[in-house]
Amino acid sequence: MDVDGARRVILAACPVLPSAILPLGDALGCVTAGPVVAGHDVPSFANSAMDGYAVRATDTATAPVILDVVGTAAAGSAPGVEVGTRQAVRIMTGAVVPVGADAIVMVERTSPADEGGGRVVIDMVASPGDHVRHPGEDLRAGQVMFEGGTELGPGHLGVLASVGATTVDVVPPARVGVLSTGDELVADGRPLRPGQIRDSNRPMLLALVERAGCVPVDLGAAPDDEEAIAVAIRAGVTGCDAVLTSGGVSVGDFDYVRTVLDRMGDMHWWQVAVRPAKPLAFGTVAGTPVFGLPGNPVSSLVSFELFARPALRQMMGHPELFRPKVPAVAQEAFRRRPDGRLHLLCVVATLDDENRWHVRSSGGQGSHLLRTMALANALALLPDGDGVEEGASVEVLLLA
Ligand code: AMP
Ligand code: MG
């Protein structure tokens, strides 16, 4: 199975989640479920874009002119005194433009005409509309502000707040359970007994899930025991929108995840033509997508990136599922042997002054070498063949 083939099967089984109405504060990064309409005009009244004086533009035609100051308009105050002929109102940014005025003269183009501030010198000719922000100039009541399928960023949340929305109809973040498996795993800082290792996949996968915009759900670590694995997977598929397991999907004697998932769900078992990451299980258990990721940490991360992340993004309604793929200059030779598979290397990608990407290996490329993975910010894609020479172009997936 090649990467695209596996992805097609996975994506077909991961439909978009039902929409939900979330408070604005919980909607950052979510995708709108449908068009979002403005509840009222923004601005909802004509207001001043400057601190200065509200005037009748015609009165300034012979500037410099002296006008009588008949009041003050502050932001937040209800409309006050009207502006008559040869009159002005002192006005602050955001205040309602008084009836009768049609222009604002910024304070820097004025000076007091007397001690008491009762009269002001306007030293420029204003045109009607100068520094007036008109009702509906930004948004009109009933206007579609954002189409469905829009990822909400901080600016979108600001716009929603500006029309009085306190909630928004979005595809909610997927709840994603993460289960480690293996008799050898120790989760906390306890001393290791012979043969034990620490569970590094669970914190890594929980963090990858969180970065993908999902709600991570820690399902713990199960020993290599069919009943324990079954109990944990059942809990996961009941409480989550998707489940990731790591380990136990190969053909080793104690790889019970495979046995259990086959019994509980409708699974595919693939040797994907990719390295690292090749043993991959995917299917549904009680309708919930389950990804059986490999145990080796680098394989686990690469499988997540290639297969789980795009599927989770699709479930959350994102129009763009995949990481950006860019050409980069190889700063060293990346050698490989032809074996019919795509090879992925953990690399450090940097941009030069001319905005060209350059990549170098982040360390030894064994699928058990965790630090290499942590130091990488990209994966170089080496197609089947002998590899890439120093200075040649190579495609990379940017992970950060
Ligand atoms: P498995 O797929 O269960 O045969 O595991 C493959 C390799 O990954 C073995 O060396 C395991 O010890 C290791 N491994 C499995 N799960 C984890 C984990 N959660 N954290 C770190 N290493 C793991
Ligand atoms: Mg195992």
Q: For the chain, 400 residues long, give each residue's pLDDT as a single digit of tens.
A: 999 999 999 999 999 999 999 999 999 999 999 999 999 999 999 999 999 999 999 999 999 999 999 999 999 999 999 999 999 999 999 999 999 999 999 999 999 999 988 999 999 999 999 999 999 999 999 999 999 999 999 999 999 999 999 999 999 999 999 999 999 999 888 999 999 999 999 999 999 999 999 999 999 999 999 999 999 999 999 999 999 999 999 888 989 999 999 999 999 999 999 999 888 999 999 999 999 999 999 999 999 999 999 999 999 999 999 999 999 999 999 999 999 999 999 999 999 999 999 999 999 998 899 999 999 999 999 999 999 999 999 999 999 8
Cβ–Cβ < 8 Å for 319, 290: no
User: Ligand 1 in contact with 296 (CB < 6 A)?
Assistant: yes
User: Ligand 1 in contact with 182 (CB < 6 A)?
Assistant: yes
Query: Residue 289 C-alpha to ligand 2 middle, in angstroms?
Result: 21
CA dist., res. 207 & res. 201, Å (int): 10
User: Ligand 1 in contact with 295 (CB < 6 A)?
Assistant: yes
Query: Residue 211 C-alpha to ligand 2 middle, in angstroms?
Result: 26
User: Ligand 1 in contact with 365 (CB < 6 A)?
Assistant: no
Query: Residue 295 C-alpha to ligand 1 middle, in angstroms?
Result: 4
User: Ligand 1 in contact with 199 (CB < 6 A)?
Assistant: yes
Atom of ligand 1 nearest to the CA of 224: 3
Atom of ligand 1 nearest to the CA of 257: 3
User: Ligand 1 in contact with 197 (CB < 6 A)?
Assistant: yes
What residue's CA is closest to ligand 1, atom 5? 295
Query: Residue 182 C-alpha to ligand 1 middle, in angstroms?
Result: 7
CA angle 163, 168, 169 (to 5 degrees): 140
Ligand located closest to 280 CA: 1
CA dist., res. 257 & res. 278, Å (int): 16
Cβ–Cβ < 8 Å for 293, 280: yes
Look at strands 342-351 and 274-275 and give their pairing: parallel
Query: Residue 125 C-alpha to ligand 2 middle, in angstroms?
Result: 81
φ, ψ (nearest 5 deg) of residue 103:
-155, 155
Cβ–Cβ < 8 Å for 33, 80: no
CA dist., res. 16 & res. 1, Å (int): 25
User: Ligand 1 in contact with 196 (CB < 6 A)?
Assistant: no
Atom of ligand 1 nearest to the CA of 296: 8
Cβ–Cβ < 8 Å for 243, 202: no
- Residue 162, sorted as left (phi over 0), alpha (psi -120 to 50) or beta, turns out to be alpha
User: Ligand 1 in contact with 200 (CB < 6 A)?
Assistant: yes
What amino acid is encoded at 310 in this protein?
P
Indicate the pTM of the whole model: 0.93
φ, ψ (nearest 5 deg) of residue 205:
-70, -35
Ligand located closest to 200 CA: 1
What is the side-by-side order of every strand in the sheet holding 279-285?
A: 215-222, 175-181, 242-246, 288-293, 279-285, 266-271
